[in-house]
Amino acid sequence: MTHLANGQSVVVDDVHATIPSRRVYREVILQFSQTNGIKPLLKCVYFECDLELVKHNSVYRALYGTGAERKDVVELTILKDFEKRFQPPSFREGPSPRILPSSVSYNRN
């Protein structure tokens, strides 16, 4: 909240499979905006890719990542569970048109 209070942008770089898991961030920024009399701006960047690319990226991060980027390989069961629970972001999630889902598709074919 300190960064927001100082007028700085905040980036949440994480994966949120469901609408309720994303709602938490939306509610925080909207509450902060109302309390401080500023316009809320919340952007959701949605990267769509196939499971093969996700597996590749997981292995790559495990082998070549440094610091916070280095992570264990994500097990296939976890990836498939995420895929099953995933709810794509939409404009319906937002209380205003300032919430802007965008999509970047990657297809290896």
Residues 6+ apart with CB under 8 A from 20: none
**89 closest CA partner among 105, 78, 100:** 100
Measure Cα distances from 87 to 16, 18, 22, 98 in Å. 9, 5, 10, 20
Q: What is the pLDDT of residue 95?
A: 53
d(Cα 55, Cα 85) in Å, to the nearest integer?
A: 17
State whether CATH 3.40.50.300 applies to domain 2-99. yes
Secondary structure of the chain: what % helix, strand, coil (to 5)?
50, 10, 40
Spell out the per-residue pLDDT of the chain, length 109, in tens.
678 778 788 887 778 889 898 888 888 888 888 888 887 777 777 777 888 998 998 999 899 988 777 788 999 999 999 999 998 887 777 654 344 444 444 444 4
- Structural domain boundaries in the chain: 2-99
Half-sphere exposure of residue 13, counting CA atoms within 13 Å on the CB side?
A: 3
